[in-house]
C-alpha cells in the first residue's frame, strides 16, 4: 500500500490524470493460432482426440553444453505449451534426448569416456540449465539408446514394405524414390529429387539440400564407432539419426501427432526424412502441424557449436545476468524471425522485468501457473486491462506485440491506481490478467523497486528526461542528445529501453 501511495504521489507530481473505461471482462478460452511450416498457414491449435494436445520436440544432442541458440528453440516450445495450457487445454509433451549419433560417438571416444557416461553427464547439465530457465519438463523424455528395439522394428517394416533396402555392408537405407511425396515440407523440386535420389546413398546424419539422396536408417558397425553398436537382423550397427524421432514420437503419441517442433535447421534433412519414413510405414499423416523457430544469431551467423560462436547459460550468468533476463531476451521477438543476440537486449530485459515486477507488486503479486491452468480448464479467465496482450499471444505467439500491449496496459494500470479508479474486484481481475501474461512468458519476477528512488529524482531532471524521451520518439536526435547532456550535467544518466527509459544517478 505504501508503494501505491508513492506511485500516486509520483504520478500526481506529473499531473497525470486520465479516465479509462472499466477493465474489460473477457474470456481467455480462445484458441492459439500457430504458423504451420508445411501448409504455410496459421492453424488453430486443437487436440485431434479432443482431450490432450500431443506434441513432439526434437531434443538436445548431448555431446556438450546446450548453447543459448538451442535454448531459443526449447524456450519457443515452452512458450507455446504455456499459452496452450493457459488457454485451458491439456498437453502431452514428448522431447527426446539424442544420445547416439555421429557427434556423440565421436566426442565420447575423443574424451575417453563410455558413451552412456558421457551423454548422461551432458543430459544432467541440460536439465540443470533448463530448470534455471524455468522450462517446463516434458511429460515424457525418451532417449534414442533406450529405444533401439523400436527403431529396429520400424526399419524392418520399411524393408518389408519395399521402402528400404539393405546394402552389402549391412547398412539399411531409405529409398527416397519409393516415397513420391518426399520433399513436401521444404518443397524440394521434384527434378532435384530425381537427379539426386538413388544415385549415391548418404551415410551422414546431417547434409544439405543439394545432396538429396537415399538416407541411412541403420549404420553397419565401423571401427570408428568403438564399442557403440547393437545387434540387429542386418548385423551389428547403430541407428541413423532420423529414425529415432519417428520411432519414439509414434510410440508415445500415436501414428499421427498433433504437432512436431524443432529449430528451422531441422526442416532438412531431419524432418523431411522423419515424414518420409513415418508416412511410408503407416500410410497416415505423421504430424498435423510443423512448428519451427528461427535461429539465434551472433554477428550475422547462426549460433552453433561448429562455428564456435556460442554462449552458454553459464557464460551469461558469469557476466552478471540471470536466467530470467535471458528468457525475456530470447522470447521477446517473433519466434519466426532471426534474433541477434546482444547484451543491450539483456539490459533491456532487466529494465522491463523490473517494470512488470513493480506492477505485479502494486496488484498484490502473481498467481501461480498451476492455479491459473486449473481455472482455465474449467472456466474462462478474465484478463481485465491485459486482454490485448493475451490476444497478441494467440496470434502466432506475437511476442513483440504482446510486450508492447503489456507495457501500455501497465501504464494504464498505474494511472487507474493513482486516480483510485480501480475497485477491488477490478484489481483482482487485473492481477489475474497480468499473472496470465507473466506465466505465459514464464518469468520469475525480480524484487520490485521501492518507489523511493524514483520520487527522489529532482523535478528538473525528470522534466528534462521526459522532454528528451519525446524528442527521441520524434526522431529529433540533435535535441535528444542536447537534453541528455543536460541531464548528465545534473549528475543523472538516462537508460533507454525500447518502450521507455529510466533515470539513475551517475555512479
- Residue 73 contacts which entry, Zn ion, ligand AMP, none (Cβ below 5-8 A, type-dependent): ligand AMP
Rg (CA), the chain: 26
Closer residue to ligand AMP in complex, CB, 54/295: 295
Which phi-psi region, left, alpha or beta, contains residue 384 (left: φ > 0; alpha: ψ -120 to 50)? Answer: left
SS (H, E, C) 5-67: HHHHHHHHHCCCCCCCCCCCCCCCCCCCEEEECCCCEEEECCCCCCCEEEEEECCCECCCCCE
DSSP H helices in 207-258 = 241-253
Rounded least distance, CB 327 to ligand AMP, Å: 14
| Residue 237 interaction partner, one of ligand AMP, Zn ion, none, beta carbon < 5-8 Å per kind | none
245 binds, among ligand AMP, Zn ion, none (CB under 5 to 8 A by kind): Zn ion
What per-residue string of b and e applies to 251-288 under the rule 16 or more CB within 10 Å gives b? bbbeebbbbbbbbbbbbbbbbbbbbbbbbbbbeeebbb
**Residue from 23, 60, 142, 196 in contact with ligand AMP (CB under 6 A):** 60
Which of 355, 321, 351 has the alpha carbon at shortest distance from 437? 355
271 lies in the site for ligand AMP, by CB under 6 A: no
Query: Binding of Zn ion at residue 58 (CB under 5 A)?
Result: yes
Identify the sign of the CA torsion 99, 103, 104, 106: positive
Cβ closer to Zn ion: 213 or 278? 278
List the single partner that 422 binds among ligand AMP, Zn ion, none, CB under 5 to 8 Å by kind: none
**Which residue from 7, 185, 243, 245 is in contact with Zn ion, where contact means CB under 5 A?**
245
From the CB of 401, what's the least distance to ligand AMP, in Å? 21
Alpha helices in 87-240 (DSSP H): 102-111, 115-132, 148-160, 190-196
User: Residue 333's Cα: distance from chain center in Å?
Assistant: 11
Name the phi and psi angles at 291, rounded to 5. -115, 125
Report 164-183 residues binding ligand AMP (CB under 6 A): none
CB of 270 to Zn ion, least distance (A): 5
Residue 342's closest CA among 357, 373, 321, 361? 321
By C-beta, is 32 or 97 nearer to Zn ion? 97
DSSP letter at 294 equals P
Residue nearest to ligand AMP (CB): 263
Query: Least separation, in Å, of the C-beta of 95 and Zn ion?
Result: 10
**Interaction residues for ligand AMP, span 301-320 (CB under 6 A):** 302-304
63-102: contacts with ligand AMP (CB under 6 A): 69-70, 72-73, 98
Binding-site member from 11, 38, 61, 247 for ligand AMP (CB under 6 A): 61
With CB under 6 A, what is the number of residues at the site for ligand AMP?
18
Q: Which residues bind Zn ion (CB under 5 A)?
A: 58, 245
Residues in contact with ligand AMP by CB under 6 A are 58, 60-61, 69-70, 72-73, 98, 262-263, 265-266, 293, 295-296, 302-304
Amino acid at each position: 500500500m505504501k508503494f501505491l501511495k508513492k506511485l500516486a504521489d509520483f504520478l500526481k507530481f506529473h499531473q497525470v490524470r486520465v479516465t479509462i473505461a472499466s477493465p474489460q471482462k473477457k474470456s481467455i478460452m480462445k484458441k492459439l493460432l500457430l504458423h504451420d511450416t508445411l501448409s504455410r498457414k496459421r492453424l488453430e491449435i486443437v487436440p485431434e482426440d479432443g482431450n490432450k494436445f500431443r506434441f513432439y520436440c526434437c531434443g538436445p544432442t548431448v555431446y556438450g553444453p546446450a548453447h543459448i541458440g538451442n535454448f531459443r528453440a526449447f524456450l519457443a516450445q515452452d512458450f507455446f505449451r504455456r499459452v496452450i495450457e493457459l488457454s485451458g487445454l491439456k498437453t502431452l509433451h514428448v522431447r527426446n534426448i539424442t544420445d547416439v549419433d555421429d557427434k556423440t560417438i565421436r566426442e565420447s571416444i575423443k574424451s575417453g569416456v563410455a558413451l552412456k557416461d558421457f551423454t548422461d553427464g551432458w543430459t544432467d547439465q541440460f536439465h540443470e540449465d533448463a530448470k534455471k530457465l524455468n522450462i517446463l519438463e516434458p511429460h515424457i523424455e525418451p532417449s534414442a539408446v533406450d529405444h533401439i528395439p523400436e527403431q529396429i522394428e520400424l526399419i524392418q517394416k520399411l524393408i518389408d514394405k519395399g521402402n528400404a533396402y539393405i546394402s552389402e555392408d549391412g547398412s539399411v537405407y531409405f529409398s527416397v524414390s519409393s516415397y513420391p511425396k518426399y520433399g513436401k515440407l521444404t518443397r524440394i523440386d521434384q527434378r532435384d529429387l530425381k537427379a539426386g535420389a538413388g544415385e549415391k546413398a548418404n551415410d551422414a546424419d546431417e547434409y544439405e539440400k543439394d545432396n538429396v539422396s537415399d538416407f541411412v536408417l541403420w549404420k553397419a558397425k565401423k571401427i570408428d564407432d568403438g564399442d557403440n553398436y547393437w545387434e540387429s537382423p542386418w548385423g551389428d550397427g547403430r541407428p541413423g539419426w532420423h529414425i529415432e524421432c519417428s520411432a519414439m514420437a509414434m510410440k508415445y503419441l500415436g501414428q499421427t501427432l498433433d504437432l512436431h517442433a524443432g529449430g528451422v535447421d531441422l526442416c532438412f534433412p531431419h524432418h523431411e526424412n522423419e515424414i518420409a519414413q513415418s508416412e511410408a510405414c503407416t500410410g497416415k499423416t505423421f504430424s498435423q502441424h510443423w512448428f519451427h523457430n528461427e535461429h539465434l544469431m551472433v554477428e550475422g551467423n547462426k549460433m552453433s557449436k561448429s562455428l564456435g560462436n556460442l554462449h552458454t547459460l553459464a557464460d551469461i550468468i558469469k557476466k552478471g545476468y540471470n536466467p530470467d533476463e535471458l528468457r525475456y531476451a530470447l522470447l521477446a521477438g517473433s519466434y519466426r524471425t532471426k534474433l541477434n543476440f546482444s547484451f543491450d537486449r539483456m539490459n533491456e530485459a532487466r529494465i522491463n522485468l523490473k517494470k512488470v515486477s513493480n506492477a505485479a507488486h502494486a496488484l498484490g503479486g502473481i498467481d501461480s501457473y498451476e492455479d491459473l491452468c486449473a481455472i482455465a480448464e474449467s472456466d474462462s479467465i478474465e484478463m481485465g486491462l491485459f486482454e490485448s496482450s493475451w490476444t497478441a499471444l494467440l496470434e502466432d505467439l506475437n511476442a513483440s506485440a504482446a510486450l508492447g500491449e503489456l507495457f501500455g496496459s501497465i501504464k494504464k494500470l498505474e494511472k487507474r491506481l493513482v486516480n483510485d479508479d480501480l475497485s477491488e474486484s477490478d484489481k483482482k481481475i487485473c492481477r489475474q490478467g497480468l499473472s496470465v501474461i507473466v506465466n505465459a512468458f514464464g518469468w520469475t519476477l525480480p524484487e520490485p523497486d521501492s518507489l523511493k528512488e524514483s520520487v527522489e529524482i529532482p523535478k528538473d531532471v525528470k522534466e528534462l528526461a521526459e522532454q528528451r524521451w519525446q524528442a527521441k520518439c520524434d526522431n529529433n536526435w540533435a535535441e535528444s542528445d542536447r537534453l541528455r547532456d543536460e541531464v548528465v550535467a545534473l549528475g543523472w544518466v538516462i537508460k533507454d529501453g525500447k518502450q521507455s527509459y529510466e533515470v539513475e544517478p551517475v555512479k
